[in-house]
Structure 1
């Protein structure tokens, strides 16, 4: 029988998924081409608007949380500009070009800490909770 992942492990995995989405957003127009217009908006939304992130209790650091929420505001503003963007219209609008620099900054911020394990709980990337508890 496989154990269900802990809430902490889920939060670590979500942070890793957000990092992967930042990679897409950082690629500007190529990111839109890769996932399409719906994917561009929905992938981020699927992971960002979680109670743990909005409350500041996720695996994101305070600075990571702030920049992720800033990107969410960019995406919301872009969506409000034209909720029915086609992929071509969205690229022509230069919204991907406005979002990409902040996504690159966020990606660099995430990499300063590194990515979390997908299998074991960690206090910080590379520091399992069992080891940290025993120190």
Structure 2
């Protein structure tokens, strides 16, 4: 297995970010158990940490157009959940039903990501499983 470069390219970083978003979708898809796993702060902040990147908002990341749309939709959903239940405890948030509303969309997003697969974390790929080879110009 190739080792990851010490100074990864912008493309490799974008591939890794896409993979981390997939990991976070797993947590969101796990409904109330996801909240238990990462806590209330983690539930909101993990996704936020990766989604609001200039490359994603500009559409220049490793996300496909459809993946980008669903990720931004879930980000809006999480923002609405946070605004609707300010100063809540983990138990109050779970009782509010928001995790049960967010989970199905996160599951759909996860399936969409898996249609392409996950990217390598060690080398650049044009698409998952297709190593990027720069053209000789």
Structure 2, unaligned runs of 5 or more: none
Distance across 1 between alignment mates of 2:107 and 2:34:
12
User: TM-score scaled by structure 2?
Assistant: 0.93
What do the CA deviations read for 1:73-93 (whole angstroms, capped 9, x no partner)? 000000111221110000000
Distance across 2 between alignment mates of 1:39 and 1:86:
13
Residue of structure 2 equivalent to 1:99: 102
SS of the equivalent of 2:126 reads: strand
SS of the equivalent of 1:123 reads: strand
What do the CA deviations read for 1:39-63 (whole angstroms, capped 9, x no partner)? 0000000000000000000000000
Residue of structure 2 equivalent to 1:85: 88
SS of the equivalent of 2:55 reads: helix
Name which of 122, 127, 130 aligns with 1:124.
127
What do the CA deviations read for 1:10-29 (whole angstroms, capped 9, x no partner)? 00000000000000000000
Residue of structure 1 equivalent to 2:26: 23
Residue of structure 2 equivalent to 1:48: 51
Residue of structure 2 equivalent to 1:37: 40
Distance across 2 between alignment mates of 1:123 and 1:84:
43
> RMSD value over aligned CA atoms?
1.2
Count, aligned residues: 132
Residue of structure 1 equivalent to 2:72: 69
Distance across 1 between alignment mates of 2:135 and 2:113:
24
